[in-house]
């Protein structure tokens, strides 16, 4: 039996509202299946399961806001086979005639084993379900230490969950998202001693390669420069793993895999940075379709839990309408943010001549608690090298 819990879709998330169940008890699910939709400050997120089995119980009803880590559903072991069909002969045989005997009361039955259950009053159980709280984990003040309605409500207040909104997927709430960004960025600037590095990278080789590669492709399959930048950043992080991970409880924790959070600005304002999972292992065309999908889903409100929960580093690319360089703010608890400015044509010294060349300013904002400037410089140089050899990306 596996517990399916409310995931933390980002370090700043405290609670989420369950707005949709995409499975029902009895459904067979496998790792990666989307089982529920959770409303967060970042919009509606599709939550996947890591477990495999049969859904045995949906614990939290739709419309309930519950803290991160709350039990949402139980997933049982998948039964190996279908239950055996009843024996065909059994159906046609008359029931055996029982010999007539006087009823005999069983004697000496095994003693009933003592059952220990958490004492929770019936009303408190109901209230806890409404509030999405596991009442069995609370300490009670009622009769015999039972958890009462008041105990549940006190617990709910300490979690400070705002009143539940109507249970349905809704459009992104710009105000809510602004609050989430404010909280995360405020925390980042309060807690993280940032250091910043910038490095200007010549992009002639990359752009030429891109042009040639796209010429042979139909429009939908054409790549954009951002994909190259993303892949280059991912591969560079392989060489500089000190910048891929999180800073938790006073120590750097290396990321398991390179999952770059790709900053996507939203039309109504705000931004999200869902992860492109295993960025370094994907081909450019895979990354292209992945990014296209991410942008679409981010704007429509259909991001998945794994995408939001797991970025190990963030990349922001300002694109054609941006500025030359970005000094980013790290998204906690990550330790680095890599920024690509707008591609501009600038005088560039080639050999002993000055030529107009397309260049981009690559920047790094990094957590000085986790790494030093030298490490950061290694990363930027690695990115530069990779972008000079785009065919290897």
Partner 1 sequence: MTARITYREACRQALREALLSDPKTFLMGEDIGRYGGCYAVTKGLLDEFGEERVRDTPLSESAYVGAGIGAAMVGMRPIVEIMTINFSLLALDQIVNNAATIPHMSGGQFAVPLVIRIATGGGRRVAAQHSHSLEGWYAHIPGLRILAPAAIEDARYMLAAALKDPNPVLIFEHVMLYNNEGELDPAIAEVDIAHAKVRRVGTGVSVIAYGNGLIKALSAAETLAAEGISAEIIDLRVLRPLDTSTLLASVTKTRRCVIVDEGWKSGSLAAEIGMRIAENAFFDLDAPLRRVCGREVPIPYAAHLEDAALPQPADIAAAVRGLVRPA
Gap between the Cα atoms of 258 and 272, Å rounded: 18
SS3 sequence of 70-121: CEEEEEECCCCCCCCCCCHHHHHCCCCCCCCCCCCCCCCCCCCCCCCCCCEC
Q: Is 84 in the site for partner 1 (CB under 8 A)?
A: no
Min dist CB 190 to partner 1, Å, is: 42
Shortest CB 132 distance to partner 1, Å: 18
Give the range of 32-40, 116-124, 174-182, 283-291 binding partner 1 by CB under 8 A. 116-124
Question: Does residue 156 interact with partner 1 by CB under 8 A?
Answer: no
Interior angle at CA 268, CA 265 and CA 272, nearest 5 = 35
**Which of 78, 123, 175, 248 is the binder for partner 1 (CB under 8 A)?**
123
Stretch touching partner 1 by CB under 8 A, among 120-128, 172-180, 231-239, 260-268: 120-128
Task: Specify the residue, 83 or 122, whose C-beta has the smaller distance to partner 1.
Answer: 122
Contact between 177 and partner 1 by CB under 8 A: the answer reads no
Q: How far is Cα 275 from Cα 282, in angstroms, rounded to an integer?
A: 13
Please identify which residue in 1, 22, 50, 141 interacts with partner 1, judged by CB under 8 A. Answer: 141
Burial of 215 (0-12, 13-18, 19+ CB in 10 A): exposed
The least CB distance from residue 159 to partner 1, in Å, is 20
**Number of residues near partner 1 (by CB under 8 A):** 14
Report how far residue 146's alpha carbon sits from residue 120's, in angstroms, rounded to the nearest whole number: 5
First to last CA, the chain: 43
Q: Are 271 and 299 in contact (CB under 8 A)?
A: no
Query: Which range, of 121-129, 257-265, 275-283, 366-374, touches partner 1 by CB under 8 A?
Result: 121-129
149 binds partner 1 (CB under 8 A): yes
117 binds partner 1 (CB under 8 A): no
Give yes or no for residue 122 binding partner 1 (CB under 8 A). Answer: yes
Select from 69-77, 138-146, 184-192, 373-381 the region that touches partner 1 (CB under 8 A). 138-146
To which residue do tokens 């419309």 refer? 63
State the nearest-atom distance from the C-beta of 144 to partner 1, in Å.
Answer: 7
Q: Is 153 in the site for partner 1 (CB under 8 A)?
A: no
CB of residue 142 vs partner 1: minimum separation in angstroms? 6
Residues whose CB is less than 8 angstroms from the CB of residue 256 and which lie 6 or more positions away in sequence, other chains included: 312
Residues recorded for the chain: 393
Q: Please select the residue that binds partner 1; options are 41, 121, 305, 317, rule is CB under 8 A.
A: 121
Is residue 236 within 8 A of residue 382, CB to CB? The reply is yes
- Asked if 341 and 272 touch (Cβ cutoff 8 Å), the reply is no
Verify binding: residue 146, partner 1, rule CB under 8 A. yes
81, 82, 144, 391: residue in contact with partner 1 (rule CB under 8 A): 144
Q: Does 142 bind partner 1 (CB under 8 A)?
A: yes
Q: Which stretch binds partner 1 (CB under 8 A): 15-23, 145-153, 203-211, 380-388?
A: 145-153
Q: Hey, what are 381's tokens? A: 């140089």
Helix (H, G, I), strand (E, B) or coil at 334: strand
CA gap 50, 277 in Å, rounded: 15
Question: What residues make contact with partner 1 under the rule CB under 8 A?
Answer: 121-126, 141-144, 146, 148-150
């Amino acid at each position: 039996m596996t517990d399916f819990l409310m995931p933390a879709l980002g370090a700043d998330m405290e609670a989420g509202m369950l707005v949709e169940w995409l499975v029902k008890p009895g459904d067979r699910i496998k790792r990666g299946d989307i089982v529920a939709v959770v409303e967060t400050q970042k919009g509606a997120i599709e939550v996947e399961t890591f477990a495999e089995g049969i859904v045995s119980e949906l614990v939290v009803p739709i419309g309930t806001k519950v803290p991160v880590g709350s039990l949402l559903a139980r997933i049982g072991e998948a039964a190996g086979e279908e239950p055996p069909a009843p024996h065909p002969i059994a159906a046609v045989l008359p029931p055996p005639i029982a010999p007539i005997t006087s009823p005999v009361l069983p004697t000496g039955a095994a003693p009933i084993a003592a059952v220990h259950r958490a004492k929770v009053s019936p009303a408190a159980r109901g209230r806890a379900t409404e509030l999405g709280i596991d009442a069995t984990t609370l300490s009670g003040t009622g009769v015999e230490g039972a958890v009462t309605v008041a105990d549940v409500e006190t617990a709910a207040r300490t979690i400070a969950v705002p009143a539940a909104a109507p249970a349905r997927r809704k459009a992104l709430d710009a105000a809510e998202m602004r609050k989430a960004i404010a909280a995360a960025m405020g925390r980042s600037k309060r807690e993280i001693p940032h250091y910043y590095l910038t490095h200007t990278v010549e992009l002639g080789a990359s752009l030429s390669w891109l042009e040639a590669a796209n010429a042979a492709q139909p429009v939908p399959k054409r790549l954009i420069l951002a994909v190259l930048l993303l892949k280059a950043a991912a591969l560079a992080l392989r060489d500089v793993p000190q910048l891929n991970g999180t800073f938790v409880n006073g120590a750097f924790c290396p990321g398991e895999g390179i999952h770059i959070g790709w900053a996507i600005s939203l039309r109504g304002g705000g931004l999200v940075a869902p992860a492109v999972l295993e960025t370094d292992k994907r081909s450019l065309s895979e990354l292209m379709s992945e990014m296209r999908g991410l942008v679409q889903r981010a704007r429509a409100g259909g991001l998945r839990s794994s995408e939001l929960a797991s970025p190990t580093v963030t990349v922001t690319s300002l694109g054609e309408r941006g500025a030359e360089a970005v000094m980013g703010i790290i998204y906690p608890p990550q330790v680095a943010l890599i920024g690509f400015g707008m591609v501009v044509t600038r005088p560039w010294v080639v050999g002993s001549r000055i030529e107009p060349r397309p260049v981009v300013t690559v920047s790094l904002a990094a957590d000085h608690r986790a790494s030093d400037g030298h490490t950061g410089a290694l990363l930027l140089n690695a990115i530069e090298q990779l972008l000079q050899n785009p065919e290897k990306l």
